[in-house]
Structure 1
Amino acid sequence: MKKTMERPLNLKHLFLVFLLLFTLVTFGQDEVEAESNADEASTEEIIPSADPVKGKELFNSLCGACHKRYKNAVGPSLHGVTERRDMDWLYKWIVNSQELIKSGDSQAVQLYEEWNKVAMNAFPQLNNQDIDNILAYVEEPKPEPVVAVAQVAAGAEGQGGSGISTEIVLGLLSVVLLILSVILILVNKTLNRFAVANGIPTKADKPKGKPIWVAFAENQFLVLVSIVFLLLAVAWGGYSFLMQVGVDQGYEPIQPIHYSHRIHAGENQIECKYCHSSARVSKHSGIPSLNVCMNCHKQIAEVAPETATEEYSKEFYDNEIQKLYEATGWDTSTQSYTGETKPVKWVRIHNLPDFVYFNHSQHVTVGGIECQTCHGPVETYEIQKQYAPLTMGWCINCHRESNIKVEGNAYYEKIHEELSKKYDVEELTVAEMGGLECGKCHY
């Protein structure tokens, strides 16, 4: 019988296989790109030559106060409006909605009555191209949540390239460590048996010396020195403990509604005294009332995805905003107050003793002291905490180091020259102006 041999693959065959694979991959990519660009293509067909980037700028400056792209606010959500309305009608409505309503247009009247007869601002400065740009922006497909993508990526990293989970690796290492421990115990017992069989003295055969505590008790010098050090340690420990009574530096309680100074004072750069307005004119800085929060959050029902961190997700922040709505009785569906409010039991962080007088307006308005001087870099805090110890020594040191601002103050200017000669200094500190007198801070 004739022996047959398989024909080996040559370069021509390999090239054909590679070409086939390349064609399949390219076809698959074309399909994916076609699907991903489907929404964009449909938008371009409806609104040709529109620029959604310019539309975003116009939307944020003109429309964002009352409208959202994908959810209702003061006005209806705008995504899909080009499918619900004719383009010519939209041009007229956006430029002057009241004129269209007065003309008796059925769609305009129905929309006006449906949304509680809230008048929409007129925008005569917008031309058709500007409106096309805005509509191109609002018709962009809704982006996928960033948190979900991050979780998928984190899961992929946790699996590793080999597909073996971390728990399995740690379990195997634990088993190996246990086996090594058992082997060491068996080896030790075997060596002891060999030593006993050959007459070699082991550790158990060596004579025991005097216990260390007996030797220590017989040495009177060591006993005396130890007692002195023990008494000093107890005295220092007791003094340190008593000096910390009432000092709550670093106190960081969890509030009933999570408020991030990092987002508000840091990323959004909201000025501290916008919320704590009484700090300018009052002894206390005050806790902002919830209506101050609602000045912004009537329109801001969710945070931007990039605001989220590894510890606090976007869903967490959005849920906290819902707690604010529940407390104020705000109904997002009707964009109105229900009247059913709930008190928020905020946890106080800074608390001075009753016999200590401190006036915020005296420091903030007259002294011109920044909030961060006493409260730390609040713009970086996710959870507000007590930054300073607020002890008497801490306040006195500040009075000794802080200079008085005499410019524009007739009283200080009058006595500045005399006190400058008295203390032989160019600038006067709070201490030199009487800031260390007991009656300044204590009743």
Structure 2
Amino acid sequence: MKKVLYRHLFSKVLGLSFLLFSSSFYAQEEAEVATDAATEQTAGAVEGDPVKGKQLFNQNCAACHSLDRKMTGPALANVETKLMEDEGLDKEWIYAWIKNSPAVISSGDAYANKIYAEYNQAAMTPFPTLSNEDIDDILAYTAAPPSTPAATATATTDGGEATGSSSGISNEMILGALALVFGLLVIMLVLVNKTLRRIAEANGVVLEKEKEKRLPLWKAFVQNQFLVLVSVVFLLLASAYFAYGWMMQIGVDQGYAPVQPIHFSHKIHAGDNNIDCKYCHSSARVSKTSGIPSLNVCMNCHKSIYEYTGNPEGPSAEDLAAGHTNEFYTGEIKKLYKAVGWDEENQSYTGETKPVEWVRIHQLPDFAYFNHSQHVSVAGVECQTCHGPVEEMEVVEQFAPLTMGWCINCHRETNVKVQGNAYYEAIHEELSKKYGVEKLTAAMMGGLECGKCHY
């Protein structure tokens, strides 16, 4: 019997794939060993713990200092080396300066008074609660800052758990090996199918029967008048249904998410940093409209926050797919500086401003009246009730349909908070006496009257 050549081919391909898989496994193991050795060598070269120092730096120093650029205070990268080698100062001077800088200035220290005069005669805030060990940790961080989560993002999964840290095999390698095995099985099945067909034909076995001649489907359909009538009626009703549904969606922009001139991530601001919605949209508490915050509100924080360093848990797969990297967000901050006329180097305004043409998302018809303060301040309605979970939205979109029926349903179902409001308590008392009402809704108070929203 003739030998089947594909068996030899399968053996060779399987052996080659196993060889590649093994070599990549050992290469990754060696890379991890080299990385661990480099990390240990770096950690031993500095005094103090840079990881603890980073936390202390962010809590006490980051508001006025950066590592690589001048802010309210000087850049602090390798500050210990600069002070000790260039200025001839010692560790004790650094301890004294951080714990009580006004006292060092008052003592007549030359370098302290030089720094005091250079930075507008504004003394650094004293930090007497920091111990010498804490300061050593901060100095260690400024000398060799630990790697950010963005540098290790490629070694984490979507859920943030490390892959390959224990076994050294990444998910990509496992999926690649499985795909290779699956491909080889497909090739095997195709070759076996061809071989069996050749054997059957050699033995005179008929594999396919001749198709019987029958009436085409469309002719059979046309000759059946009842089926034609039912189909026509069904198509007419379906067309009317879809036409009505399409016309009812005119003017409903639910899901509308335009691209803004400056990308503003509500997920980062309202979600990760827990900034209250009414901090930026302050007029929602006292005005009909929620208002668009001025750029000066943004600069309250972004005078010091000039770059985006990323979420501590690392970027998500959605952010990486959309190109929302740390560099992307930092570039959007630069657009803000250009619009407001902020000079980063001199930490001052230039006066050269450029208005930002924001694209409006939520737009009610002119004949519909809606008052934000009445709902937010009086009724205590949360912003997410109408605008959805904005703290989870990278790009804000219109969450609710904002139709008349949607508003009416809310007035019928939402209970009015009467506690602490004498006006509502009086209405609730009268309704309870007359109709036995236990709960008070906006509909019971005339919230369904046409004149309430249309004027």
Indicate the TM-score class for this superposition, using the shorter chain for normalisation: 0.7 to 0.9
CA distance 1:325–1:394, change in 2 (3 Å): same
> 1:34-86 deviations in whole A, cap 9, x for unaligned?
75444444432xxxxx5667655554443221112444322122231211222
Aligned pair partner of 1:112 in 102, 106, 116: 116
The residue type paired with residue 121 of structure 1 is M
Residue 410 of structure 2 corresponds to residue 398 of structure 1: yes
The 8 Å contact of residues 276 and 286 in structure 1, kept in 2 or not, is answered as yes
Give the 3 Å change call, closer, same or farther, for CA 163–352 of structure 1 in structure 2. closer
- For the Cα contact (< 8 Å) 2:149–2:310, is it kept in 1? no
Letter in 2 for 1:282: S
Q: Does structure 1 retain, via aligned residues, the 8 Å contact 2:54–2:145? A: no
Cα–Cα, structure 1 residues 414 and 442, in superposed 2: closer, same or farther, change >3 Å? same
Counterpart for residue 210 of structure 2: 202
2:425 corresponds in structure 1 to 413
Look up the equivalent residue of 2:316 and give its one-letter code: T
Deviations 1:207-240 (A, max 9, x none): 553x443443343322322222222111111110
* Distance in structure 1 (CA, Å) of the matches to 2:259 and 2:229: 49
- The equivalent position to 2:315 in structure 1, one of 302, 308, 321, is 308
Deviation at 1:440, TM superposition (A): 0.4
Aligned counterpart for 1:160 among listed residues 173, 176, 186:
173
| Conservation of the 8 A alpha-carbon contact between 1:98 and 1:120 | yes
2:46 aligned with 1:43: yes
Q: Counterpart amino acid of 2:94?
A: L
Please, which runs of 5 or more residues in structure 2 have no aligned partner?
1-30, 84-88, 158-163, 320-324
TM-superposition CA deviations, 1:168-198 (whole Å, max 9, x none): 99998999999999x79x98xx89x998xxx
Structure 1: unaligned runs, 5 residues or longer: 1-27, 45-49
Residue of structure 2 equivalent to 1:237: 242
Please give the alpha-carbon distance, in whole angstroms, between the structure 1 residues aligned to 2:132 and 2:104: 20
Partner of residue 97 from structure 1, selected from 83, 94, 101: 101
Q: CA RMSD in A?
A: 3.9
Provide the rounded CA distance (Å) in 2 between the counterparts of 1:369 and 1:335: 40
Comparing 429-438 and 382-391, the one that deviates more: 382-391
1:377-422 deviations in Å (ceiling 9; x for gaps): 1222222111111111110000001112222222222232222233
**How much has 1:278 moved relative to structure 2?**
0.8
Following TM superposition, by how much is the alpha carbon of 1:93 offset from its aligned partner in structure 2, in angstroms? 2.7
- Spell out the pairing of 1:36-435 with structure 2 (5 A cutoff): 36-44=39-47, 58-85=56-83, 86=89, 87-101=91-105, 103-115=107-119, 117=120, 119-123=122-126, 125-126=128-129, 129=132, 132-133=135-136, 135-151=138-154, 157=170, 160=173, 202-203=210-211, 206-209=212-215, 211-300=216-305, 301-306=307-312, 307-312=314-319, 313-435=325-447
Shift of 1:110: 2.9
Aligned pair count? 399
Aligned residues with identical type, % of pairs: 54
Structure with bigger gyration radius: 1
Cα separation, 2, equivalents of 1:122 and 1:159:
50
| Higher deviation after alignment, 52-61 or 83-92 | 52-61
TM-superposition CA deviations, 1:76-118 (whole Å, max 9, x none): 2223121122223323433443454455433223323443x15
1:7 — aligned with what? none
Question: 1:128 & 1:220 partners in 2: Cα distance?
Answer: 95
Question: Which sits farther off after the overlay, 315-324 or 136-145?
Answer: 136-145
TM-score (normalised: structure 2): 0.74
Once residues 357 and 43 of structure 2 are traced to their aligned partners in structure 1, the CA distance between those partners, rounded to angstroms, is 48
